[in-house]
Chain A
Amino acid sequence: MMKPVFMTYTKKDLINLAVCMVLSVLVIPSFITTEYWYTSILIPWLCLALATIGQQIVMGYTGQLALGAAGFMAAGAFAMFNLILRVPDLGFVGSLIVSGLIAAAFGILFGLPSLKVRGIYLMVATLASQFFIIWMIDKFGWFKNYDSSGIITAQDIVILGKPFTTPLAMYFVCLAVTTVLTLLAMNMARGSTGRNWMAVRDMDIAAESMGVSLLRTKVQAFAISAFYCGVAGALFAFCYLKSLEPVAFDIKLSFKILFMCILGGLGTINGAFIGAAFILLFPVLLNAIGNNVFHGAIDATIISSIEQVIFGGLMIIFMIYEPLGMAKLWENIKQKWKTKIPSSTNLKSSLGKKT
């Protein structure tokens, strides 16, 4: 195992981070100029990856089957709208944090059933959060500032007096928030906090006998998860949808995030990004194939049905053959590559160890 060099990050992590940063800050902005890529792929990818990290914390790390990520995203999004509207002094970043905290409060409330019920029953109980939050926003006009149209336009993003309204600027906002929160999540997952989560996941009674409080650990995981979802929801509404409507945060989105979590790999942070990318890009790829290979001979509705079929099939295949998802698959491929073609440095180090 490698020793961390900074915080909990190993040398390899820092190199990976540097590569990602160069790619996303320098390479992507200079090579991709079409707005479509930012508004339809990169921005939603970052937002949903962030929400998936939230889902990972509660489901992948703490082992609590929860299905209400979109509800917490809605809470975050509408909290953001109201904070910017009613407490403009907070500023964008301040509002983002407070909306995350408001979502976290809902997370605590709906995480409480996890103390009594588990597994599929907990999943049903957490569904309540999904429907309750959406219902609450629809029912009380105050949340939508008594807008009758049903769809409210999101306010412009202004940070320190500077507007961030172009797709590229919004992409950078999402990138910055996602990067910071991802790094913090990695610290938690690798530190004592993450160990408590995983202990509760793997064997709760033993965790309790070691002094890990089930109440605190579960509720904490739900709160942190909801915080991540809340922030992701606010970004999703303000950078991607640019409007606020409760329908956008329906149960379908919760399922999408659940799929991202499972396909990406339960209990991994990088899996959140892989899973989100796959689920977002796959329909795009299918459409491209439909248009370019079959020249529109296949109906768009059929393509979207095929998409569902393939997702369902993949879920089953992954559940059976690789429950740890694409992140694990990627690790295995790397491992095989290394053992097949041992580079000179690898050979040297393995020889060095023996002597």
Chain B
Amino acid sequence: MTIERKFKIGKPILEVKNISLSFGGVKAITDTSFDVLKHEVRAIIGPNGAGKSSMLNCINGIYKPQQGTVSFKGKEIPNITPNLMAQMGLSRTFQNLALFKRMSVLDNILVGRKLHTKTNFLEVAFQLPKVKKEEKINRERSEEIISFLEIEDIKDTPVGKLPYGLQKKVELGRALATDSSVILLDEPMAGMNVEEKRDMCRFILKVNDELGTTMVLIEHDMGVVMDISDRVVVLDYGKVIGDGTPDEVRSNQKVIDAYLGVEH
């Protein structure tokens, strides 16, 4: 690509060092390290059960790794919780959709504005002027995201009633609403058809390009990943077997073996 990026790729914003995670006797991740640079699109790929989702859950604080550290924005974070990471500016989507099913699309995205909502319940109960002001800002931002994702016509529909592809879009919208500097996407394109996948890629690149948001995504589809990411890390059996630009990874023998199988 020769197009000049508005946000130049910078220093590491997220660093994962020597993470090991096991569930009882089952080792999900073993001594894994990699980093994510500011403003880049970083992909984590690997066959089923390679520990990709577990890795995201460690970064986000849902799982507590037995060993290793996660550093975010230059600070090592000792007691990671999802809430703390959200406050520091890291948002995410989930593999199996974790939307608020009975709430409308707009309300789901508005929940993403939680950290930009400072008024307490008493102020909300009495609808003080500052609540109205804050609500107006949050609604405007949410509407912006809704029109960005081209989902205006479904904004009042309860998300539980939407088809899978649209729900994935809403989840991306909710993560965007947080205005986080890093967004983790857990299989954003799983279960989508080609056209939906293309749309999703376009949104991911557009967000990265226009807002400079660092995107970390997990994906099965090698082709898609190679097209949109700046750097790729490949996991297999909980270990890093390849890390580099898409071209480097594509020619890595270990990666080819993991994906295509080894001759015996």
Give A residues with C-beta under 8 Å from B: 1, 7-8, 184-185, 187-188, 191-193, 195-196, 198-199, 201-203, 205-214, 220, 224, 267
Contact = CB atoms under 8 A, between A and B. Distances in A.
Nearest to B85: A209
B37 interface: no
A210 B174 contact: yes
Interface in B80-107: 81-83, 85-87, 91-92, 94, 98-103, 107
B100 A187 contact: no
Contacts of B126: 184, 187
Contact of B112 (A1, A198, A203, A210): A210
26 contacts: A184-B125, A185-B125, A187-B124, A187-B125, A187-B126, A191-B131, A192-B110, A192-B113, A192-B135, A195-B111, A199-B100, A199-B103, A199-B111, A199-B114, A202-B100, A202-B102, A202-B103, A203-B98, A206-B98, A208-B81, A208-B83, A209-B98, A210-B178, A211-B115, A212-B114, A224-B121
B117 interface: yes
Given A209-B92, A210-B114, A220-B121, A195 B98 contact: no
Contacts of B134: 192
B119 interface: yes
Interface residues of B, number: 38
A197 to B, nearest CB: 10
Contact of B99 (A185, A193, A195, A202): A202
Contact of B101 (A188, A191, A193, A202): A202
Contact of B87 (A7, A202, A211): A211
Given A187-B125, A202-B99, A210-B178, A1 B114 contact: no
B83 A191 contact: no
Contacts of B60: 209
Nearest to B100: A202
B86 A198 contact: no
A56 to B, nearest CB: 14
A45 B152 CA distance: 42
Nearest to B112: A210
Contact of A206 (B94, B131, B138): B94
Given A188-B124, A199-B103, A213 B83 contact: yes
B103 A210 contact: no
Given A191-B124, A196-B114, A209 B107 contact: no
A203 B124 contact: no
B103 A198 contact: yes
A309 to B, nearest CB: 31
Question: Which of A8, A208, A267 gathers most chain B CB within 10 Å?
Answer: A208
